[in-house]
Structure 1
Amino acid sequence: MALCVANAYAQDSNNSASNPPPTPVEKSKSVASANERILSAESAVHSNGQVMIKGKAVPYKVTAGTQPVWDKDGKVIASLFYTYYQRSDVSNKDKRPLLISFNGGPGSASVWMHVAYTGPKMLNIDDEGYPVQPYGIRDNPHSVLDVADIVYIDPVNTGFSRVLDPKADRTQFFGVNADIAYLAEWLNTFVSRSSRWNSPKYLIGESYGTARVSGLAKELQNNHWMYLNGVILVSPTGLGIKREGPVNDALSLPYYAATAWHHKVLPADLQKRDLNELLPEVENFTLNEFIPALAKGGFIDAQQRQQIAAKVARYAGVSETAVLQHNLAMPPSFFWKELLRTRGQTVGRLDSRYLGIDRMDAGTGPDYNAELTSWLHSFTPAINYYLRDVLKYKTDVKYNMFGPVHPWDNSNDRTGENLRLAMAENPYMRLMVQSGYYDGATNYFDAKYTMWQVDPSGKMKDRMEFKGYRSGHMMYLRSEDLATSNEHIREFIKKATPANGQAAKY
């Protein structure tokens, strides 16, 4: 059943004169829609704010609203909710970068990066990212709004976005390529309505959102003739790049080592080293010894098997017995349960700094994801308060942190190859990958591998960069990494915005 969202033309109390109040007709529509809980395909609420970034005041205008999704015949079939921030003391949009932001899931709203990473408001959390009360938001002094305008978009059935036509075919929304196709059409309209065709444009996606923006890079260029300056992948998925067997089994080991180091369970000689000194050693072992050993399968020499098991156990902070019992390839779910089993604790999947407690210490995996329950604890009240009470987007509809988008069609995922082709076609385009060392779902070494495989020729590697952080999937929840990761985005945008007259050519 498609839920509905009320029309939202009401104006914020600090709205400027440039944003006139709704007409009487709009007011009557708003009341009727609210009473009927029927989604208005188009709506907008405007307000103004100011945030201190890097010691300077940055004034901005924010629009929270909906924009339609049309079918091939021009009929409205759905509507997407978005939140659009524009720096208000910049008059020339032609030179002003636009950052287009998506989260993942699939089925996740854009809330995560919106109120915890790049936007002018952030969660009320402690310095390590844990929830505190009272819930709410505060100014984000590290937002990249000083260098780029930002739009956060909720795909169909996430956030307040909904299917409007009950007869609409769900397959046109819920699949790798369908998702990319309709979102590209939506962005074409948004960019046109916002007069942003001349602006340098950047896509940023987190988790599954990295597949989304990788595919959008090519879709926008090839079918909408919209060329981008950069793509930022935050905690990327595999992007359709194959990595079965020994490669897949081995790539988790550097993440295991980072997590074990964080929880201080490594052998003393490893534990006393800095993480940035330790990880290159583990990465080298993974590529040059561990993958070749796993490739031998059951025919590996017994002595070599024992030697590899000893090294894996040493780096992962677990027993040799546990490694040998898994034929050297210990799965992540077991690691989350095993690492601190003797302490009676589990470690988080998306961020292994977080600890959980299970019904019993025995078992092969944790009872729940300790990090996700913590995040939902702080994000859900914050986004509902911010959209409804601060931005005044009034609706009785539930904000879907995770919405009903399954079954999801994962077939023909060529998003990594599509990103490569988009970059090859566009000499302006650059790529940055950001990952947390303690992310066990989309681990950082897997992310490095993805970046290496996007362009096997190596001809574009000078346009690609990797940044790692001492936190997890949402590395920006840790205060120190929030500052650093936003600065990396700021530098990336400046680097990928060409000087006046600089031609896009090889």
Structure 2
Amino acid sequence: MSRNLVWKTVSCGVLLVSAGFAIGAGAQEKKDSDKKKDQKLVVTGTPVVEAAEPPADSTTEGSVTVGGEKIAYRAVAGTLTVGSSDSQDAMLGMDGKMLPDTGEKAPDPEKPDEAPATARMFYVAYFKKDAPVGRPVTFLYNGGPGSATMWLHMGSFGPKRVVTTDAQHDEGAPYKIVNNDFSLLDVSDVVFIDAPGTGFSRIMGKDKEKEFWGVDQDAHAFDRFIRRFLTKFNRWNSPKYLLGESYGTPRSAVLSADLQNVDLNGIILLSQILSFDNSIDGPKWNPGVDQAYALGLPTFAASAFYHHKVPTQPAALEPFLAEVEQYAMGDYMSALLKGSELPEATKQAVAEKLHQYTGLPVAYLMRANLRVTGAAFSKQLQLDDETTTGRLDTRYKGPDIDPLSADAEYDPQSNAISSAYTAALNQYMRTDLKYGENQTYKPGAYADADFTWDLRHQPPGGPPANQQWGGTNVMPDLAYTMKSNPKMKVMLAGGYYDLATPYFEGKFEMHHLQIPQKLQANISYHYYQSGHMVYVNEDVLKQFHADVAAFIRGTEDGK
């Protein structure tokens, strides 16, 4: 089955399309991405050739104050090289070179493109000084796919964070980098990992893109990285956690199943999507699978509530959303499932109800056949004000690019914070961590001419990836891990104003996992009045830290 992929540029969110339907997470539409791919790169002057030898690790020391406690830490910024297969990876030493006793011929340095593909994966690890043996360690990564992990690194649980004004687009540099009062170092060592081909991570060798850019290939690389990290720093007997955001959540699901004989204590899923059939970005390209419209409705309602577009403004958000959730899974889903057999009078009644929840005009809802995508909602909610509503966080807004377009042309939230995070990460790396001299930090791999993503996936025990039908769905992987490791806990977190991965979609997926009913008790739910990147709101970051810290404290003994 052919796969027609549509891509959009992103900050940290999901961006891909599966089996012909889109999951966008970025600021620009497909036409802009296509323009980038058509452009020729012209280099003048002396070309810069990256050194064959990996840059040396940099070890620095610092301190962070969390909850009034000063925590001294050691930071290691460096790379670990992983192979593109388990057998190849086993023949690589910690320095990324072929072990001398393998009997295999080392790659010809004069012909790097003929060597087996490898990924030099960049990370920054923070270790609390003088901590007892067996301290928890948490691995964190953003998603994309194709995004570096500067968002979580500079926004959530590292020792420093960049300050941006919540729900606003600030002026340009200088940006404020401050002590992170909500760093996770009070309960766990933390490791921020850049995916292959992003940040300071690099991919090399024959068919390197094919070997690392895909659902399964990517998870295998992270699996090998984690095993190498546990060996290098002697952390095999530490409680272990995964924290992935956006596409990092399907990565966590597949990775958790790949980590054979490595029982995790917990997984934190931030802004989740596991089944791409549930994306509100592209259900029109997946006709007949209507649940995405229902799962997106509560986020539409939350956004209308925030911007005071609900015809009768409710007194409080969460009771209002509880009502919308019930309607979404009841009368609304029932109406969608009827398709063309839905009576006109019932269709009119549903449109009027949707108007009461979203503020969108009844006439528009009727023309849309009761089916509104995320991009269309972003465009329509504040159309009368010539204003586009944010996608990653619908609290953000910005001027329309084209008042006559059907869909939003960009994401105001992404535009509002991307410059601050990019500047802060580059400044912090070079000034505080003493790493990255003469290197380019790539916020994402999207500008690479060969960037694409292999969406084929083989779940545990399932048929080969090239024999799969339908959209990519990694729910079986998480279910497999939970059944294989029934003591492991899962924390689901998200924002009510996230239109990239609507919060109700995450709930729906968790309640449809193929697990025994008793294992549902291993899942906890935490939702906040923020968007896709919940941590951009400082009050929410404070609560998010408290919830994750409690999750780790409650699971680090394996009970």
TM-score, normalising length: structure 2: 0.79
1:157 is aligned to 2:170: no
What secondary structure does 1:454 align onto? coil
State the Cα deviation string for residues 254-292 of structure 1 (Å, max 9, x = none). 000000000011123xx1411011100000000111101
What secondary structure does 2:549 align onto? helix
What secondary structure does 1:324 align onto? helix
Give the letter for the 1:159 counterpart: G
Percent identity over the alignment? 33
Q: 1:391 to 1:242 in 2, by over 3 A?
A: closer
What secondary structure does 2:540 align onto? helix
Q: 1:369 to 1:138 in 2, by over 3 A?
A: same
Instruction: Within 5 Å, give how 1:237-276 maps onto structure 2.
Output: 237-239=273-275, 245-268=289-312, 271-276=313-318
For residues 426 and 538 of structure 2, the distance between their equivalents in structure 1, rounded to whole angstroms, comes to: 23
1:204 is aligned to 2:274: no
For residues 167 and 385 of structure 2, the distance between their equivalents in structure 1, rounded to whole angstroms, comes to: 22
State the Cα deviation string for residues 12-39 of structure 1 (Å, max 9, x = none). xxxxxxxxxxxxxxxxxxxxxxx96315
State the Cα deviation string for residues 116-155 of structure 1 (Å, max 9, x = none). 0011110032245754542141111011110000000111
Q: 1:239 to 1:42 in 2, by over 3 A?
A: farther
Instruction: Within 5 Å, give how 1:26-65 maps onto structure 2.
Output: 37-41=50-54, 43-65=56-78
1:478 is aligned to 2:537: yes
Match of 1:452 among 506, 511, 515: 511
1:408 is aligned to 2:444: no
What secondary structure does 2:535 align onto? helix
Contact preservation (8 Å) 1:236, 1:433: yes
Q: 1:18 matched to which residue of 2?
A: none
1:302 is aligned to 2:361: no
Instruction: Within 5 Å, give how 1:8-87 maps onto structure 2.
Output: 37-41=50-54, 43-71=56-84, 72-73=87-88, 74=91, 76=96, 77-87=118-128
Match of 1:175 among 204, 208, 214: 214
For residues 482 and 360 of structure 1, the distance between their equivalents in structure 2, rounded to whole angstroms, comes to: 34
Q: 1:332 to 1:398 in 2, by over 3 A?
A: same
Contact preservation (8 Å) 1:39, 1:164: no
For residues 130 and 356 of structure 1, the distance between their equivalents in structure 2, rounded to whole angstroms, comes to: 9
Q: 1:219 matched to which residue of 2?
A: 258
State the Cα deviation string for residues 224-244 of structure 1 (Å, max 9, x = none). x11100011110123457786
What secondary structure does 1:277 align onto? helix
Match of 2:355 among 302, 313, 317: 313
Q: 1:213 to 1:254 in 2, by over 3 A?
A: same
CA displacement at 1:394 relative to structure 2:
3.3
Q: 1:362 matched to which residue of 2?
A: 404
Q: 1:428 matched to which residue of 2?
A: 487
CA displacement at 1:415 relative to structure 2:
2.4
State the Cα deviation string for residues 411-447 of structure 1 (Å, max 9, x = none). 1245221111111111221011111111111111111
Q: 1:328 to 1:465 in 2, by over 3 A?
A: same
Q: 1:17 matched to which residue of 2?
A: none
For residues 502 and 52 of structure 2, the distance between their equivalents in structure 1, rounded to whole angstroms, comes to: 39
Match of 2:231 among 170, 192, 195: 192
Contact preservation (8 Å) 2:76, 2:126: yes
Contact preservation (8 Å) 1:240, 1:416: no
Contact preservation (8 Å) 2:429, 2:435: yes
Q: 1:246 to 1:127 in 2, by over 3 A?
A: closer
CA displacement at 1:375 relative to structure 2:
1.9
CA displacement at 1:70 relative to structure 2:
2.6
For residues 437 and 428 of structure 2, the distance between their equivalents in structure 1, rounded to whole angstroms, comes to: 13
CA-atom RMSD, angstroms?
1.8
For residues 358 and 392 of structure 1, the distance between their equivalents in structure 2, rounded to whole angstroms, comes to: 41
For residues 78 and 428 of structure 1, the distance between their equivalents in structure 2, rounded to whole angstroms, comes to: 33
For residues 105 and 137 of structure 1, the distance between their equivalents in structure 2, rounded to whole angstroms, comes to: 25
Q: 1:206 to 1:82 in 2, by over 3 A?
A: same
Contact preservation (8 Å) 1:350, 1:439: yes
Match of 2:151 among 102, 112, 133: 112
For residues 242 and 382 of structure 1, the distance between their equivalents in structure 2, rounded to whole angstroms, comes to: 34
Q: 1:425 to 1:241 in 2, by over 3 A?
A: farther
What secondary structure does 2:78 align onto? strand
Q: 2:430 matched to which residue of 1?
A: 388
Give the letter for the 2:250 counterpart: A
Aligned residues: 458
Q: 1:296 to 1:420 in 2, by over 3 A?
A: same
Q: 1:127 to 1:346 in 2, by over 3 A?
A: closer
Match of 1:327 among 369, 375, 383: 369
Q: 1:296 to 1:394 in 2, by over 3 A?
A: closer
Q: 1:293 matched to which residue of 2?
A: 335
Q: Gaps (5+ residues) in structure 2? A: 1-47, 97-117, 280-287, 458-471
For residues 502 and 439 of structure 2, the distance between their equivalents in structure 1, rounded to whole angstroms, comes to: 35
